[in-house]
Structure 1
C-alpha cells in the first residue's frame, strides 16, 4: 500500500491472521482528521484459526461482532462508527438469531446493511461472516 499515501493496513495483535493476501482492515485518510476504515469479512475463529461456536449462529455472530470491534479499536474506532455492514449467512434459517445479536450490539443510527445468503462460506463450519465500513476520528 506504499503507492497510496496515508493508507494503512490494520492488524490487531492476536487477531486471526488472514488466510490469503488481504488485510483485516484498511484505513484511508479523509479530511478533518477522520479516516474511513474498510473491514474485511470477519468470521468466528480464534487466533489459531479454530472455529468458535460450530453450529451456533448466535454465538458466531457474537464472536464476529467482537472481532469487528477489535479491528475498529485498532483503527481508533468502535462499532458505533460503522456506516455500512454486509452480513453473509450460510443458511437464512439463522437470520433471526444473527439479527437479534446485530440489533443488540449496533447503536443508532443503525448503519446501512445488506444481507446475503450464500451457498457456503470459505470454511464450511462458519455460519456467518460480516464486513463493514466505518468513519472514525474527528467530526464523526
Structure 2
C-alpha cells in the first residue's frame, strides 16, 4: 500500500491522502452510524461521541476479516452539520495513522436515516487475505 498524501501540484491535504494505491482483495464497509452493539444511539447531541462510535463500528467490521484501521484506504464521511467538522477531525485522528491517512471524501447532507444521527462513514480497506 502506498499513500500519496500530496502529489506535486495538488492542493494541501488536511488529514487525508490525495490517493492511496494498493493491490489485492478489498473490503467495502457499509455506512456506519452511531449505534452500539445493542442498537442504542451513542452521543445523542455530541458529534465527537457519535464519530467515536462510528469508528468503533468500522473497527469491528475490519476485525471480522483480520484487518485494522491501518488497512483503510478510503473513507467517505457524511456530516449533517459542518460545524461538527473540527470534532470529526479530532476523533478521526485518534483512529487513523496521521502519517499515512486514507484517501477521504466529506459531504454535508441534509439528514441521515435517523434524525439524531450527525455522522455516517463508509470505508474501503485493503485486506491481507479473505477469511
TM interval, short-chain normalised: 0.7 to 0.9
- What number of residue pairs does the alignment pair up? 106
C-alpha RMSD over aligned residues:
1.4
Q: Of 43, 48, 56, which residue of structure 2 is paired with 1:66?
A: 56
Runs of 4+ in 1 over 6 A off after TM superposition: none
Match of 2:94 in 1: 104
Does the alignment pair 1:52 with 2:70?
no
Aligned to 2:120, the other structure's residue is in SS state: strand
Distance in 1 (alpha carbons) for counterparts of 2:42 and 2:84: 16
Match of 2:117 in 1: 126
Q: Of 111, 116, 121, which residue of structure 1 is paired with 2:107?
A: 116
Aligned to 2:25, the other structure's residue is in SS state: strand
Question: TM-score normalized by structure 2?
Answer: 0.76
Distance in 2 (alpha carbons) for counterparts of 1:119 and 1:79: 28
Does the alignment pair 1:135 with 2:115?
no
What stretches of structure 2 of length at least 5 have no aligned partner?
A: 1-22
Measure how far apart 1:50 and its partner are: 2.0
Question: TM-score normalized by structure 1?
Answer: 0.72
Measure how far apart 1:46 and its partner are: 2.0
Q: Taking CA–CA contacts closer than 8 Å with sequence separation of 6 or more, which of the two structures ends up with the larger relative contact order? A: 2
Measure how far apart 1:103 and its partner are: 1.8
